Structure formats: structure tokens, C-alpha cells
A and B are shown apart, each in its own frame.
Chain A
Amino acid sequence: MDETEIRRLSVGHVFSILAVVFSLCIPPLFLDNFSLLETHVTWLCICSACVAAVNVILLLTLKPNPSSKRISFGTKVNKFSKSCIYFLISCLLFHGIIVLYGAPLVESVPETFIFSVLLSSLTTSRCLCILGPNFPAWVRVFSRDGAMSVWDHSLQITTVCSVVGAWLGAFPIPLDWDRPWQVWPISCSLGATFGYMCGLLLAPAWIYWNRKKLTYKSR
């Protein structure tokens, strides 16, 4: 097991966490009356933008999937446009799933959509950065024993954590506490972000802990 790979992974995760923290701390300096609960949509936009940007930067600097052969510029553009389309599709898909889960269809569409954008940037953007727009690879990673590198493992863990966080975040909504954070979609987006951060913290630790057991075959 390559220790340096784990170290690179951890650095990447620290930056990802910093992105979320950044989205919380910096906007109040520039925006008047910004708060997590009251101007939630603004925060959602900023947070998803930050997370997505950091993911792209990490892709460029850390290069999780170094390929041996040179890629032409045309392929790169092709890949980039494909990734954008994938991201858009995933936003729509998440929106659909959220509506199927019971979010209002007509009311508060912007909130739901921004929430699905957040979910996409927490999950899909990472997938796109690490695996590229390659659907079979995604299916492989997200099935049992499908991970082939530490990056795949971290991807699995963070994605599952974010989705489960969002899932669990829906539970306080029916409670009759009348708290401001029970309003749709605040608890879910907070749950997703929290789950994402947990996943980021958890993944390197888990991989380090199981480094003896994990043997990756070359692809």
C-alpha cells in the first residue's frame, strides 16, 4: 500500500473541508445580513460553487488518475463538455429523486433545485473529477468490491456519507418543534454537508486503518 497516495488523499480532503468552512466564514465579510438559516439559498449557491471549484482544482493539482498516454486538447474539451452535461443531468436527476421523496412539486422549486445542485457538487463533481465522465466506471465503483484505488474508496465513502447525511437530514422535518432549521431544505442540506465533511474525515482514517487489507489490482 502506497503511503504517499494516502497522504496526497488526506491533503486533498483537508482542502475540500476548507472549502466548506470557507463558504461559511467568508461571505459575511462581503454580504450584508448573511446567515446560514435566513439566507439559506445564497449559502447553498456559495457552498456548492466552492466545493465544485475545489474539486476541479484538486483534479488539476493532485491528478488522482494519471494516465500514461498523452491526451489531446480536443479530447480534453470533449471530456469537459461531457462532464458539464453529466453534472447537469445529475442535478436534474437529484431534483427528480427529491421530488419523488415528497418535496413539493410546484412550490419552492428554486430551493429544491439549489439543494440538488449542492448534492451534485458534493457527489457528482467528485465522481467526475476522479473517474471522469465514464458511466460503467461509476457503476463499478458503487458496487461491492468495486474500488480499485484509494481514490475510489474515498469517493465511495464521501458519496455515501453525503447522501446518507441528506437522507437522515429529512427526519427532523415532521417533528413539531417549530425551529427555523426544520424548514425545507435546510435540515437536509445541512445533513448532506455534515455527512460530506464526516466522509472526508472518515475516508483517510478508514483507508489508513485498513491499509493492510486493501490490495488493489492494476486495472
Chain B
Amino acid sequence: MCTTSALHTGLSHAPPRAQDVTRKCRRGRFATAASGVNVSPGVTMRVGSSVLACCCLLLQLLGLALFLRGFFPVPVRSQSRKNSVSDIPSEPSAGAKSNWTALPSPLFKKTVIFLIDAFRQDFVFGPKGKMHMPYMTEMVEKGTTHSFIAKATAPTVTMPRIKALTTGSIPGFIDIIMNLNSQELLDDNLIWQAKQAGRRIVFYGDDTWIRLFPKHFVEHDGTTSFFVSDFTEVDYNVTRHLDNVLSRNDWDILILHYLGLDHIGHLTGPHSHLVGPKLFEMDNVLKKIHTSLMVKEEDGSLPSLIVVCGDHGMSETGSHGGSSDEEIETPLLLISSSFERKGEPAKAPDILQQTDLAPTLAIGLGLPIPRNSLGTLIHPVIEQKTMREQLRYFHLNGYQLSTLLRENVESSEKDVGFEQFKKAEKSHGNWIKLYLEGNTSEVLTNLGRKVLKQYIEALMKLSSSLSKQVAEYDMYSMTVGAIITLEILFLLLLSVPNALCSRAEFEVPLSSPFFSLLFYLLCLVLAAIHVIVCTSTENVCFFCSISWVMAIGIMTLMSALCCIILSTFGKMLSNAKSPNKRPDSVSLWSELDVILLMGTLGHVLSMGASSFIEEEHQTWYFLVNTLCLALAQNMCRKYFLVKKGNPIDLATHKRTDNEGAYIKEIYDMHKKEMREERLPILSRFVKDHEKWIALSSPWAILICCRLLRSLNQTGVQWIHRPDFGHWLTSSEHKAELSFLVAVSLVMIFILIQGRCSFVSKVALAFGLLGVYSYRAAIGHVLYPWQQSTKEISKGITEARFVYIFVLGILITGIKDLIKSQVIITDSKAKSVGLWEVYCGLVLLAALLFRPHNLAVLVFCLLIQSTLTMFIWKILKYDAAQVTLMHYWFGQAFFFFQGNSNTISTVDVSAGFVGLDNYIEVPAVFLTVFTTYSGPLLWSIHLLCYLNSESSRLSTSIAHGCYCYAIIRSLPVTIYIILITVLRYHLFIWSVFSPKLLYEVIHLLISVFVCLFFTAVDKNQMAKSDV
């Protein structure tokens, strides 16, 4: 048995490796792992590689879930979307009937929001402000103003900050995911409320606002922040409108967003000589606005309000995005003639939250407070109002906050802030009762002050307990998740030599975790850390909030994994010391191995740079091209290289002979198969010209890749370039698109029907016809006989027709697989079954893909069959190499489809194919399938290929599965470590987080693929044992 196994293995390995296999074979029985798992008494547990890979990936998924929960704080949000006037609570009154149930009337007539990007607080309150902003300094010191330092929260980037200013909430990344594709701000916000109330809003400045609030402004002119090096033109484009607007009277709210300062910061930093003149320019703008508003203010009408603020600050190097003090502290100036002129000299400005502006502005403009606002009313703004009004405003704010709290926190009644608010509300009622009774004594004023104080305290507590929900990264959960993931990766890497040997199994040292001191010690230490962290932390921590049984379970898992890794490592070290280790093992690496490994590692490391994530497709196209060139070189060498007389000992020689005979046998078998499949003339042609076809096939693949590359432009930098995809989908090229779709469908049929059973062949043909009629029904393509465009339907019938065939083919395939499992001798049923599953998925992809992407599918199948028939069969790579190559091609096809690492390229429309309306589960499934169909199809094809190989080498599926698991878990693990390090990076929300989500979903899919592998492989193991 040993010799045969060595012989079989030797076919795929270089001769020296075969010797190694023989040696290993002598050590242990061959194929003991009959059913994958086999528990030896007490000491270790034997696990097949594929089972190990599956378990590892599952555990890694758990670690990732923990990490994600810590990384993406769950946003505080209200169920009902927008606050309306009818939701306004009436004034609390104990017994007596209050007559004030409507919304308070506005305090200000005209409001100007003067937002300066990257305006940090020392530009106003520091020495720079005194020097360059004389008017503003004068206003702060002597004018009717209130000045504050408003603290922003990370990420200090413009878009989330605008959201914070207008909604009063702290936007999390989940928000971006929730409203996939649409950039419009759908949460309750000030601008929407103002528009509902009929206010006319004028906007000039950063076009982010226009994207967030489309159709909200009666007049707007957006400037783009794309050209960072321009810092005069952007601001001129805003200022040039000012004179016109200020002279007119047809607006209520004017929003100005100046970008110049931010650009200067990015370019030269906060201390550059350019900052001074820019500040002076801003000062002049303020002067202009203020004087022109003052002139217009007549007696009797409401006063105007000017809000001067920054969206975020600027670090010492001039960038922003993080959470250093310089970045989060922005000035906030409220200027209005209604404010009381301060007699006393200016004191240091108070510190408040940026979110406080939203409720203050809402009250000031007489609008409902946005529902998700976490802010509290800025008291000085309303100080000059009567006590009743002040109390009313605070009650509105408190009511809104406590509603939000009730909707987001389970035991909100026990919250200190909530209790205080209830108490304040009660005394407010009493006060109103006294007031309505006509009491005007000193007592009433004092009582009113007391209630006000109670309200302010309650609001502070409510706001802080709400912001705790969204405050920061939950580092503890993130660390625990990352440690689990990392341990799994170590385990996978350490067991490579065992798992990829001829037996494809791994001995899990179970005794070491459960009977060693280290294990219990680690458990204790982790538990102690857990207690310390959970009792000391201020922020909300997910890992602390789960039940202690689960927490202990996870900690036990962590320490057990650690012990297993250590004992495996120890075993490896002792094995390495053993004398029969060959020194020349390094030279076994071929150029292809080097390219595969370096490419994979290089790609993983490149994910630390945001540009490489944005342009990841370039990396994969580049790597796949290099791979094809390497294949071409290998091919050349095989056919052209003159054989040299290598010093080969007799035994090896003999083996080579045997090998040769065996190869011939297999080759003939393959030929026979081919002859059955294809027309005899074609097969003869292939046989005659095999050398030249094989030599040219890598080049053909290269050309295919080049064509696919120009089909869909993706990424960020070159996405605007014209591509074939847009050309085809434009309406004037419908005929071309129809032709392409028809040809593609025929090609798909030709390429995959060969290995199906007759029934599924027919089903496939009907399914593909159905795909065409679906496309025609929804108006993407034309029927050749029906030129006129008839009415366009949603194509539900046609799509469901195709779904039936997809299901039919899949079920036939699975039935065949189960049959092969029951009847062990039936090996053909299994390969047919696998191929049918593959066909079913191809058919589903053909239905769901955008019409022009059918070409991608065709090329995918074409490349797969070329690789299988002419390259791998001839060059005889082992399972690990083939798996890596499959993975690379899968990744490249992910991007060939037009995907990228931004959320915006996800084709959401695929989720509606064949559905009347949005149903969550199928829609999500279909969207995910469409997005990842490239990698998925390649991995299923890998399984088909390895299964056909397994007649030659029984462990190939196990090896493939194991490699696949490693190659998926490596990037994920490295990436979460990178993202933890870079968590204050400027692009964390725009570039890194979407990529993280893509990676996690990809890992989830890989888990399913691995499970499928294992299911097929177990069957294989059982068979080989018999």
C-alpha cells in the first residue's frame, strides 16, 4: 500500500518529494482517517485536513463577528424616521389645562450658517485669531455674541460632520451601509424640517451638501473639493454670490461652506503663511454678512442669527480624520442682535458638543428637533426669553432625548437622566399650574430657576448616556476577536506540513490544552482581565455585555487554541531536529511557487495602503497576467528544453518510468474521454496540434483577460474612462448587446453541457432560453423577429421560469452526489453531480448578471476549460498550486465583473430579479451571489477539477480545501490587524471599512464552500478506505 501511495503522490510532486512521502508513509498507517475524524484514546484527535480547515474557518468567523461588533458601533436611531409637528408634546401641567400645545414660534428671522472647513478653535480664540481676524475678535469680545468650543467626534471628515451638524446625531459607518447606493441623508434633519416648514434655503459651497440634500435648496452652487491644490478659486466661487444674495430678501436660511482653509491645511499645514490671509478673507466675509444683516434689521421684526462654525479641526500636520484635540475642537460663534450685550470682559469660551447646534437651531428656527439628535439646547441662546418659554424649550429637548433613549436602551426607566427628567417634568407641571393661576411672586421665579437647573442636569445625563452608545471603537471586543482570528491563522499555518502530506490529516493535541497548567493559567488570566476591563471601562463594551457563560466559553476557546498552537509548534521543533531532514528542501520551489507565494503575500501587505485597496483590481490583473506568463514559460520549457542527463539514481529512474507509463494510461483515458465528448475531426485536430495549442493557450488566456479588463472599468482613479460595458448598455447599441447576449448564451451552453447528464442538458438549454426571454422582457435585448419595442414588464414570469430550471439542475446534481455517497462504487455519478451543481450556479449567474457581463461568464468558462484541458493536465501541478491559481483567477473575476471595494458598485438590482417587491432574505442572497459569483464559480470549478484529479491522488480535495482555507483566512486576519492599527486613518470609513465588509462576506462564502468541499471529501476518504 505504501509503494502505491508513493507512486500516486510522486506523480504530482517532484521526485525528491516522492521520497519524502515514502518516508512519511513508513511512519504511520495509510489513510486511518476513515471518516475524517478519529479520536485516539485520550491523547490526540485525528482530523482530516478538510475538516480542520472547515472548523478553523468557522471559528474565525466567530472571531470576526466579535471584531466587527466592536469595530462598528451600533448607531442610536429612532424607529420612525422623521419628527413632525404633530409629535410635539404639550406643555406639562399638573391638573390645569395648558393652552400651549403647538410648536414654539421661531426666535430668528434670517439665519446664516457660515461653515469654514477645518476651522480649528485657535484660529479664533488663539493668537492667530487676534492677528488675522480683527472683526471676529472684536465681536467675540464686545459684540452681542455667544462663543463656544464645539467638540466634534471621530471620524473628523466633512461628510459625517455635516450629518452631525444637521441631524445632531453621531453618524456611524453602519449608516452608510444602511442606505446603500443613495447618498441622500434620509434621517430626520434640520434641512428637511426647514424645507417642510416652507423655509427657503440657499446654499453655496462644498457640493457634499448638495449630494446629502438634493432638491432641498431653492438656489445652490456647489464647489468640488477634488482639487486640493486650489484654495482661492473654491472660496471665490462662494463669495461671488454673496452680494447678490444679501441684497435680496427671498430667503430664510443661507448656508455657506468654505473649503479654502481645509485645502491650505492639507497642502501646507496650520502654520503656513497662507493661513493668515485666508483667515483675513473669512473675517471680511463675516463682516460683510454681519453689516448687511444689521442694516436690514428693522425694529419690531425678529432678529437675525449668524452661526460661524467649523466642521472639524486640523491636526498639526494639516490633515484631519483622527481624534486629537486639534482635530476635534472647533469654534462656534452665535451672533445675533437679540443676545444681551456682555458688560464683563470676555472669559474663556465654554466647551460643548458639536451635536448641540442641531437642537438649538431647531428651537431658534421654530422647527421640531430632529429625532436622532443627541444634543442639548445651548442655554445662553434662549436666556433672554421668558421663563415659561425657556422651560418649554427645555421640555421639548428633554422629551425628544428621552424618547430616543427609550427606543434604544432596554432599561431606560432606570437611567439617572431619565429619572431626573421625569422629576423635572413634574415640577415643571407644578410651575405651570402656579403660573396659570396668575401667581407672579418672587417664589415663582425662584421655582422656575430651580426647574431650569433640573432640566439642564437631566439633559446632560440623557445626552451622555446616549452618546456612550456610539462613542468609540470597542477595543476590548476588537482585541478578543482579533486574537481568535490570529490564533486560527497560526494554527492553520503551523499544520501545513501535516495537512498537506500524503495522509492529509492533522493530529490535534487535545491532551495538552486540558491537562496542562498553562491552559488553566491562561483561563484565569483572561478571566481576570475580563473582570478588570469590564469594571473599569466607561464606554459600552459588547464583550462585557454578553452573558458570562458565553464569555467564559470564548475565553476557554482562546486559551485552548493557544495551547494547541504551542504544542503543535513544540512538536514541529522536535521533528525539525530529527536527523533525517533534507537540507536541499528549499530548492524544491519552482519559479511558479515563488510567484504564487510572493504574489499572495504582496497582495495581503498592499492592503495597508488606501490606494491599493481602491485599485485592488489592478493588483489582481497584474498578478494574473504574471501567472499566465509564468505558465507560458513553463510550457515553453516543457516543449523546447533539450533534456539534460541529470544524475538520477536507479530507483528514481524506475519510478519515472512507472510514472511515464501511468501518465500515458491516464492520458489515454483522458483522450478517450475527449473523443467521446467532441467531434472526431476536432479531437484529431487537437491531438495533432496539441503542442501548439498548449503553447498558445496561456497567451489566449492573457488576451481574454485583457479584453475583460476593458469591459468594466472599476476602482476610483480610472473609473471614468470609457469602457465596453457602458458602450453596450447605452440604448443605441441594443442590437449589438442582443447579439452579444445571444452568442454568450450559446457559448455557455456549448462550454458546459459536455459533462452533464441528458436531463440537465435539456434543462440547461431551456434555462438559457429563459434567460434570453427574461432579458427581452425587461427590455435589455431585442428579439430578432420583433423589432418594435413592446411594453416593458418586470419579467417575473420569465425569471421564475429560469429559477425552476436552476433548482432542477441543482437538485439533480445533489441527488447524484448523494447517490454516489450511498453507492460507493459509482464514481462517475459524483463527478457528474458536481458538474451539475456547477452548471446550476452558472445558469443562476447568467440570469442575474448585468446583460453585458454575460461576456465575463463566457470568458470565465472558456479560461477554465482551457486551463483544465491544456495546461494543468499537461504541466501536472499539485493541488496546492492549482488552488492558489484558482483563487487568483477568482479574485480577478470578482473585479472583471465590475465590482470594486466601494459599496457603490454592488448591483442591488440583482436582488429584485423575479421578485414582485423587496423580500429581504432572497434579495440579500441574490445580491451576494451576484457580487461574489466570480470567486464562487472558480472555487466550485476547483472542486470539480480536484475531484477529477482524485482518481489519481485521493487526497487532492483535502489539500485543495485546506489551501483554500488558508488563502482566505490570511488576508482577512492581516487586514483586521491593519485596520486596527489604522483606525484613525483619514479614509477609514470611506475606503477601509467597505473593504472589511467585502472581506467578511467573502469569508462567509468561503466557509460554505469549504463545507461543500468537506462533504465531498468525506465521501472520498470513505471510498479510499474501502
**Bound CA–CA A173/B640 (angstroms):** 36
On whether A176 and B611 interact (CB within 8 A), knowing A102-B709, A136-B640, A143-B637, the answer reads yes
> Which chain A positions have C-beta within 8 A of B717?
174, 176
Asked if A52 lies at the interface with its beta carbon under 8 angstroms from chain B, I say no
Residue contact B625 to A100, C-beta cutoff 8 Å: yes
* Contact for A175 among B611, B637, B702, CB less than 8 A: B611
> Which chain B positions have C-beta within 8 A of A99?
706
Per-residue contact bits, chain A 36-66, to B (CB 8 Å; 1 contact, 0 not): 0000000000000000000000000000000
* Contact for A100 among B615, B641, B702, B715, CB less than 8 A: B702
Asked if B275 lies at the interface with its beta carbon under 8 angstroms from chain A, I say no
Residue contact B611 to A174, C-beta cutoff 8 Å: yes
> Which chain B positions have C-beta within 8 A of A101?
621-622, 625
**Bound CA–CA A101/B705 (angstroms):** 9
What 5 A-B pairs are tightest by C-beta distance, nearest first? A174-B615, A175-B611, A139-B640, A100-B702, A176-B611
| B-facing residues in A118-157 (Cβ within 8 Å) | 135-136, 139-140, 142-146
Range of interface residues on chain A? 20 to 34
Residue contact A174 to B618, C-beta cutoff 8 Å: yes
Asked if A97 lies at the interface with its beta carbon under 8 angstroms from chain B, I say yes
| B-facing residues in A157-182 (Cβ within 8 Å) | 167, 170, 173-176
> Which chain A positions have C-beta within 8 A of B612?
174-175
Residue contact A140 to B641, C-beta cutoff 8 Å: yes
**Bound CA–CA A55/B849 (angstroms):** 54
| A-facing residues in B745-779 (Cβ within 8 Å) | none
Q: Can you offer 28 A-B residue contacts whose CB atoms are under 8 A?
A: A100-B625, A100-B705, A100-B706, A101-B622, A102-B618, A102-B621, A102-B706, A102-B709, A105-B710, A135-B640, A136-B642, A139-B636, A139-B640, A139-B641, A140-B642, A146-B641, A173-B618, A174-B611, A174-B612, A174-B614, A174-B615, A174-B618, A174-B715, A174-B717, A175-B609, A175-B612, A176-B610, A176-B717
Interface size on B, residues (CB 8 A): 28
On whether A167 and B626 interact (CB within 8 A), knowing A139-B636, A139-B640, A143-B637, the answer reads yes
Which partner residue on chain A sits nearest B715 by CB separation?
A: A174
> Which chain A positions have C-beta within 8 A of B636?
139
**Bound CA–CA A170/B702 (angstroms):** 18
Asked if B131 lies at the interface with its beta carbon under 8 angstroms from chain A, I say no
On whether A97 and B706 interact (CB within 8 A), knowing A139-B640, A139-B641, A174-B612, the answer reads no
Q: Helix, strand, loop or mixed for chain A's interface?
A: loop
**Bound CA–CA A144/B625 (angstroms):** 22
Asked if B493 lies at the interface with its beta carbon under 8 angstroms from chain A, I say no
> Which chain A positions have C-beta within 8 A of B709?
102
B992: min CB distance to chain A, Å: 15
| B-facing residues in A97-117 (Cβ within 8 Å) | 97, 99-102, 105
**Bound CA–CA A97/B628 (angstroms):** 11
11 further contact pairs, Cβ within 8 A, besides A140-B641, A140-B642, A167-B626: A100-B703, A102-B618, A102-B706, A102-B709, A105-B710, A135-B640, A146-B641, A174-B611, A174-B615, A174-B717, A176-B610
> Which chain A positions have C-beta within 8 A of B997?
none
Which partner residue on chain A sits nearest B637 by CB separation?
A: A143
Which partner residue on chain B sits nearest A170 by CB separation?
A: B622
Asked if B444 lies at the interface with its beta carbon under 8 angstroms from chain A, I say no
Q: How many A-B residue pairs have CB under 8 A?
A: 49
**Bound CA–CA A97/B703 (angstroms):** 10
Asked if B908 lies at the interface with its beta carbon under 8 angstroms from chain A, I say no
Per-residue contact bits, chain B 619-635, to A (CB 8 Å; 1 contact, 0 not): 00110011001000100
Among A145, A146, A167, A174, the most chain B Cβ lie within 10 Å of the Cβ of: A174
**Bound CA–CA A173/B715 (angstroms):** 13
A27: min CB distance to chain B, Å: 31
A34: min CB distance to chain B, Å: 27
> Which chain B positions have C-beta within 8 A of A97?
629
Which partner residue on chain A sits nearest B629 by CB separation?
A: A97
**Bound CA–CA A135/B642 (angstroms):** 12
A142: min CB distance to chain B, Å: 8
> Which chain A positions have C-beta within 8 A of B702?
100
> Which chain B positions have C-beta within 8 A of A145?
644
**Bound CA–CA A135/B640 (angstroms):** 9
> Which chain A positions have C-beta within 8 A of B629?
97
> Which chain A positions have C-beta within 8 A of B705?
100
> Which chain B positions have C-beta within 8 A of A174?
611-612, 614-615, 618, 715, 717
Residue contact B611 to A102, C-beta cutoff 8 Å: no
B640: min CB distance to chain A, Å: 5
> Which chain A positions have C-beta within 8 A of B615?
174
Which partner residue on chain B sits nearest A143 by CB separation?
A: B637
**Bound CA–CA A101/B623 (angstroms):** 9
**Bound CA–CA A97/B4 (angstroms):** 44
Among A102, A105, A135, the most chain B Cβ lie within 10 Å of the Cβ of: A102
| A-facing residues in B715-756 (Cβ within 8 Å) | 715, 717
Residue contact B637 to A139, C-beta cutoff 8 Å: yes
> Which chain B positions have C-beta within 8 A of A173?
618
**Bound CA–CA A97/B709 (angstroms):** 14
> Which chain B positions have C-beta within 8 A of A176?
610-611, 614, 717
B420: min CB distance to chain A, Å: 51
B251: min CB distance to chain A, Å: 38
Per-residue contact bits, chain B 291-308, to A (CB 8 Å; 1 contact, 0 not): 000000000000000000
A84: min CB distance to chain B, Å: 23
Which partner residue on chain B sits nearest A145 by CB separation?
A: B644
A123: min CB distance to chain B, Å: 14
B290: min CB distance to chain A, Å: 39
> Which chain B positions have C-beta within 8 A of A105?
710
A190: min CB distance to chain B, Å: 18
Which partner residue on chain B sits nearest A176 by CB separation?
A: B611
**Bound CA–CA A167/B622 (angstroms):** 9
Which partner residue on chain A sits nearest B228 by CB separation?
A: A178
> Which chain A positions have C-beta within 8 A of B618?
102, 173-174
> Which chain A positions have C-beta within 8 A of B591?
144
> Which chain A positions have C-beta within 8 A of B637?
139, 143
Which partner residue on chain B sits nearest A217 by CB separation?
A: B644
Per-residue contact bits, chain B 518-560, to A (CB 8 Å; 1 contact, 0 not): 0000000000000000000000000000000000000000000
Residue contact A143 to B625, C-beta cutoff 8 Å: no
Residue contact B641 to A143, C-beta cutoff 8 Å: yes
> Which chain B positions have C-beta within 8 A of A143?
637, 641
**Bound CA–CA A145/B646 (angstroms):** 10
B613: min CB distance to chain A, Å: 10
> Which chain B positions have C-beta within 8 A of A144?
591
Among A100, A143, A173, A176, the most chain B Cβ lie within 10 Å of the Cβ of: A100
Residue contact A102 to B622, C-beta cutoff 8 Å: yes
> Which chain B positions have C-beta within 8 A of A140?
641-642
A174: min CB distance to chain B, Å: 4
Which partner residue on chain B sits nearest A167 by CB separation?
A: B626
Which partner residue on chain B sits nearest A168 by CB separation?
A: B602
A60: min CB distance to chain B, Å: 29
**Bound CA–CA A101/B641 (angstroms):** 27
> Which chain B positions have C-beta within 8 A of A102?
618, 621-622, 625, 706, 709
A202: min CB distance to chain B, Å: 18
Which partner residue on chain B sits nearest A99 by CB separation?
A: B706
Which partner residue on chain B sits nearest A177 by CB separation?
A: B611
> Which chain B positions have C-beta within 8 A of A167?
626
| A-facing residues in B627-662 (Cβ within 8 Å) | 629, 633, 636-637, 640-642, 644
**Bound CA–CA A146/B642 (angstroms):** 10
A119: min CB distance to chain B, Å: 14
Which partner residue on chain A sits nearest B591 by CB separation?
A: A144
**Bound CA–CA A38/B615 (angstroms):** 26
> Which chain B positions have C-beta within 8 A of A142?
633
Per-residue contact bits, chain B 702-714, to A (CB 8 Å; 1 contact, 0 not): 1101100110000
Per-residue contact bits, chain A 11-38, to B (CB 8 Å; 1 contact, 0 not): 0000000000000000000000000000
**Bound CA–CA A12/B625 (angstroms):** 34
| A-facing residues in B582-629 (Cβ within 8 Å) | 591, 609-612, 614-615, 618, 621-622, 625-626, 629
Which partner residue on chain B sits nearest A175 by CB separation?
A: B611
B383: min CB distance to chain A, Å: 49
